[in-house]
Structure 1
């Protein structure tokens, strides 16, 4: 039965693939609302489109925390669907980071550059999938026969796999986190559960340090100087993602569409990194980074509020 599931996709896998396409179809449409809000703020078309790209990326760290807290309630199928969406968004973010210097140079981006990036991303994806799904578990099972304390070998080997593909990802010009994320995502549940229990406490600490360092760079006064259009930007960032994610989930028939939309609302690490890269390369105005920072704060606070309202409405009904 296990071999047959590998040979052909199951109905749940088909629904998951369909959900990825519909989610990103709806989210890509909501990008227009965020780009339009930047245009209303008085920025040029290029800066407005860049703002739309920055605010179109949900936070993998925050979303993963929300999903982990809700897995026992909604099952692992919902978690797998949402996290695959996040992986695709992260790859898009890395693609944009790769192209930012090219765009800032003023030279026309050649089609060959797109093909090279796409080829590298495809190679990383396939290499990580093949190793983590097939070769990696066999290595863990073989070496685990000689372990003294149950689970330690699985943890250390899986951690080394993450570092291995982090180095490969960095060599290909992507963020090391992408390779490590894919390695952990494709690792079978049997081998990943112990790793998850060991790593989660450390992950929380690193998230705090990251947001502290990036938040210290935000000039709130510069963001507030945008004026009334700032409220439009924050509103579009919050409700654009919520509506886009909800409609995508409804069309994909994944269940609990409003919950999925609310989970995808928070922005975070890649929004800040992409905004900082755009400002540092002089591609966009320096005012964009503090605006993106406030959007990260607003959407992170809005997500639990929306989820609580949804839970209250379900309880009343």
Structure 2
């Protein structure tokens, strides 16, 4: 009886989430902004901050997590492995980690936070939410451009480096840091990514092509698509197990399947697109639901305002200047800097870890979460209304 009574509740939550996602699209249309902005703002309105119609339950968290994984799986179809191995991306990503970390750390100290809290705030500023920026670029028909490939390639490296920074921060704060342990983490994570990329491209992609010619695939065209999605979630699960964000594994799976043409089966990219439409929408709404502005005091709001400006400037400077020096145009360099600015769910993960380890308090946790939300909203606004205004108008006509 208990199990049956819980089912309508889950169904109602899903209904509300999708209803709010639709309302987010309407809001975005009214204010002429990205659907991402509309959905996040709508989540903010219906969440604890304003109306309190829905809270960030375990169910919402689970569905949002699926959304982020599926989103990056879909984005991966637009990239080849060579797009991620450009040495310039590594240089931009490394400097784009160091500058925000220093900025966040010293600003936090200036506001009176203890070194442990400042360490976590600095680490939160190193993060980049690939899912946010990738979706904005996709929405504006820019994913196949050189600047988009630079942003995504750098963001993948940035995400790995920020997670390494998180591991170091947690160890330093708890007194367990050793150089040997740090080197081991780097070798383990980089080696793992290379391994699953090779497995995906050299083995699984060929297996999918062979499966397409089998009787079972000819009888059930969806068979191969289910296998591909299963692989994406497997890569995501293995990535999380090894200490890398699950969305990186899903992205590598999408990259592995790029260019696969199937004769008898459902198109992989098209099928994944439908999953993305549903679950990614919930993901963006959930980012707004996660925030509770009522819990913030005036001093905290001032700190959030300052740290948000620092978060954006340090990415624009830390990534934009190296990009310019490495040959990108002024506009593309700014786009790379702003494209790396959304902290999204990655910074929230950093904050949650610090809170769970009792290394930061609720005040710092709330500050990081709101900063993440604000940086997430700024990028699509800058892209649509300034850097890529012409391209957006052309995309709308297609």
> Residues 131-146 of structure 1: matches in 2 within 5 Å?
131-146=199-214
Distance 2:381 2:236 in 1: 35
Shift of 1:272: 0.5
Change (3 A) 1:176 1:87: same
Q: Where do 5+ consecutive residues of structure 2 fail to align?
A: 1-81, 393-398
Q: Alignment partner for residue 199 of structure 1, among 269, 272, 292?
A: 272
For residue 65 of structure 1, what is the aligned residue in structure 2?
135
Query: Are residue 271 (structure 1) and residue 347 (structure 2) matched?
Result: yes
The answer to whether residue 387 in structure 2 is matched with residue 310 in structure 1 is: yes
Q: How many residues align?
A: 302
**Matches of 2:85 and 2:245 in 1, distance apart?**
29
- Alignment of 1:122 with 2:190, yes or no, is yes
Q: Residue 164 of structure 2 is aligned with which of 92, 95, 104?
A: 95
Which residue is equivalent to 1:109?
177
Cα–Cα, structure 1 residues 239 and 228, in superposed 2: closer, same or farther, change >3 Å?
same
Which residue of 312, 315, 325 maps to 1:241?
315
Cα shift readout 1:1-28 (whole Å, capped 9, x = no counterpart): xxxxxxxxxxx86993223313432452
The 3 A distance-change label for structure 1 pair 73 and 177 is closer
User: How far does residue 277 in structure 1 lie from its aligned partner after superposition?
Assistant: 0.7
**For each residue in 1:103-158, what CA deviation from the matched residue of structure 2 results, as whole angstroms up to 9, or x when unmatched?**
45x33312232133223202311211211221122111111123338974552332
SS of the counterpart of 1:36?
A: helix
Q: Which piece of structure 1 moves more, 265-274 or 188-197?
A: 188-197
Name the Cα RMSD after superposition.
3.2
1: distance between equivalents of 2:288 and 2:171?
27
Q: How does 1:202-217 map to 2 (within 5 A)?
A: 202-210=275-283, 215-216=288-289
1:187 aligned partner? 257
> How far apart are 1:285 and its partner, in Å?
2.9
Identify the range of structure 1 (136-145 vs 250-259) with the bigger mean alpha-carbon deviation.
Answer: 250-259
Distance, in Å, in 2 between the alignment partners of 1:177 and 1:94 is 12
Q: Secondary structure at the match of 1:190?
A: coil
Kindly provide the CA deviation profile for residues 49-91 of structure 1, in whole angstroms up to 9, marking residues without a partner as x.
3212102212121111012134x44734433322222222222
8 Å CA contact 1:41, 1:230 repeated in 2: no
For residue 148 of structure 1, give the secondary structure of its aligned residue in structure 2.
helix
Q: Is the 8 A contact 1:59 1:266 kept in 2?
A: yes
Gaps of 5+ in 1: 1-11
**Deviation larger for 269-278 or 233-242:** 233-242
TM-score (norm 2): 0.66
